[in-house]
């Protein structure tokens, strides 16, 4: 079999060898008493090529990006020239990107084409027989490549359908409206990445604890439909356990057992649960492997820690969680978030980071609403990322103690 990448490298090596042989031939012609013109022209051409190689390489890199942009922008109307240039400049990357289970078919296709080229120059029977053999081999290669592309397209379309369904499932689990609670200003936001993950935020009323609101932020490991289904049963577990009542730590302990029994091994859920009592201005939270909450109180900004283990739900069969209770005052702002916020990257893969978020929250006006605080963070993260693609879900819930409790 002919590996296309190796075949290309062999062709480049062959060109280099031919150039050297041409120089040697011209040199011997000059030494044999013939003209030195041929040697001089060859030497100048080879020297110029060597000196300009860096510039040629840079031009090729520029053309590579341009050729790829044309192919991705309008593949249905790409010209023959653009397709030809793209196929040559990106040959290594194209072959590397071929799925492993299709790569052998592409190698066989290249081999058939190579044999067809050989057949065109070798006398195989009388008349047009060499051309017939060549055409048959090339047709077989083209058919193989077409089948590989079509098969890959069908699988990709099926995957896109799965991701779309997972995206819809994920969005359907989250609240469409923010709760209205006297003394509280609450807003939530989630922006799924292009590949659907499992970020969720939810609100619920704690059973048996009048006036207390349960707020959760979770991040299911994995992507696509598996993550979406894990988010479904995690959401169901949350709804059921909240109805049973208990403190945030107790609810997380019971949810851990549910996720352990229903999730596949190696799949887990980072989950933070907070109960908010507006009248008492009290926030109690327990954390199962999620990002720490961020509190802005006056001029102070701090990440809130909870004692004990922080294992994500489903990581082990039993996890005894602990909780932390804070007594807050008017104007205090608490942010519950997933790591998609602080780990958002720009084109140079630089993280947004905790420090940027802390500085932004510290600079917010004390009267900034929860929704406006989230919008400011969204804008800042987006400005940092620029044109870089979003690689993870971004989820935020802002809880602001807005006034005297009812």
Of 180, 195, 201, the residue nearest 290 (C-alpha): 201
pLDDT of residue 370: 95
| 358-405 residue pLDDT tens | 999 999 998 999 999 999 999 999 999 988 888 888 999 999 998 654
| 10-50 residue pLDDT tens | 767 777 788 888 888 877 877 777 778 888 888 888 888 77
Mean pLDDT (the chain) is: 82
CATH number of 177-401: 3.60.40.10
pLDDT of residue 312: 92
Of 219, 231, 232, the residue nearest 342 (C-alpha): 219
Q: Could you tell me the maximum CA-CA distance found in the chain, to the nearest angstrom?
A: 109
Kindly tell me if the per-residue pLDDT of 354 is higher than 90: yes
What angle in degrees, to the nearest 10, is found between the helix axes of 4-31 and 37-51?
A: 140
The larger pLDDT score, comparing residue 312 to residue 96, is at 312
Of 405, 355, 398, the residue nearest 380 (C-alpha): 355
Dihedral of alpha carbons 380, 382, 388, 389, sign: positive
Q: What is the mean pLDDT of residues 128-134?
A: 80
Kindly tell me if the per-residue pLDDT of 406 is higher than 50: no
Q: Tokens 């051309």 — which residue?
A: 131
DSSP annotation string for 270-323:
EEEEEEEETTTTEEEEEEESPPPPEEEETTEEEE---SS--PPBTSSS-----E
pLDDT of residue 302: 95
Angle at 58 between CA 52 and CA 59, to 5 degrees: 90
What number of other Cβ atoms are within 10 A of residue 295's Cβ? Answer: 19
109 backbone dihedrals φ, ψ, rounded to 5°: -60, -45
pLDDT confidence band for 291 (50 / 70 / 90): very high
pLDDT of residue 183: 87
pLDDT of residue 201: 92
pLDDT confidence band for 125 (50 / 70 / 90): low
pLDDT confidence band for 284 (50 / 70 / 90): very high
Q: Which contacts of 136-143 are long-range, i.e. CB under 8 A and separated by 24 or more positions?
A: 137/112, 137/113, 138/112, 138/113, 140/109, 140/112, 141/108, 141/109, 141/110, 141/112, 141/113, 141/116, 142/109
Phi-psi region at 394: left, alpha or beta (left = phi > 0; alpha = psi -120 to 50): beta
Per-domain boundaries in the chain: 4-161, 177-401
């Amino acid at each position: 079999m002919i590996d296309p990448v190796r075949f290309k490298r062999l062709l480049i090596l062959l060109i280099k060898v031919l150039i050297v042989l041409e120089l040697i031939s011209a040199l011997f012609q000059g030494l044999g008493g013939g003209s030195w013109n041929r040697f001089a022209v060859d030497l100048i051409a080879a020297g110029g090529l060597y000196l300009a190689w860096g510039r040629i390489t840079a031009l090729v890199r520029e053309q590579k990006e341009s050729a790829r942009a044309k192919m991705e922008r309008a593949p249905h109307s790409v010209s023959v020239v653009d397709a030809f240039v793209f196929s040559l400049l990106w040959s290594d990357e194209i072959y590397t990107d071929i799925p492993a289970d299709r790569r052998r078919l592409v190698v066989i296709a290249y081999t058939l084409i190579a044999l067809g080229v050989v057949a065109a120059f070798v006398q195989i029977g009388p008349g047009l027989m060499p051309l017939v053999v060549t055409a048959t081999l090339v047709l077989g290669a083209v058919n193989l490549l077409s089948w590989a592309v079509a098969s890959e397209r069908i699988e990709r379309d099926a995957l896109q359908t799965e991701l779309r369904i997972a995206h819809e499932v994920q969005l359907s689990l989250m609240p469409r409206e923010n709760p209205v609670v006297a003394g509280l200003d609450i807003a939530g936001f989630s922006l799924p990445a292009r590949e659907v993950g499992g970020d969720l935020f939810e609100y619920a009323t704690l059973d048996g604890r009048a006036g207390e609101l349960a707020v959760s932020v979770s991040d299911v490991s994995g992507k696509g439909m598996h993550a979406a289904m894990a988010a479904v049963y995690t959401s169901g577990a949350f709804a059921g356990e909240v109805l049973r009542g208990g403190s945030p730590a107790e609810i997380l302990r019971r949810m851990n057992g549910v996720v352990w029994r229903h999730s596949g091994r190696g799949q887990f859920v980072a989950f933070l649960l907070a109960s908010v009592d507006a009248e008492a201005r009290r926030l109690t939270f327990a954390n199962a492997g999620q990002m720490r909450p961020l509190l802005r109180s006056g001029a102070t900004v701090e990440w809130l820690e909870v004692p004990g283990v922080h294992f994500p739900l489903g990581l082990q069969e039993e996890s005894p969680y602990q909780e932390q209770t804070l007594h807050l005052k008017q104007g205090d702002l608490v942010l519950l978030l997933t790591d998609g916020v602080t780990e958002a990257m720009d084109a140079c893969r630089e993280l947004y980071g905790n420090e940027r978020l802390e500085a932004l929250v510290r600079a917010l006006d004390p009267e900034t609403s929860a929704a406006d605080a989230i919008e400011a963070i969204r804008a800042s993260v987006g400005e940092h990322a620029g044109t870089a693609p979003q690689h993870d879900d971004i989820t935020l819930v802002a809880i602001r103690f807005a006034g005297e409790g009812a």
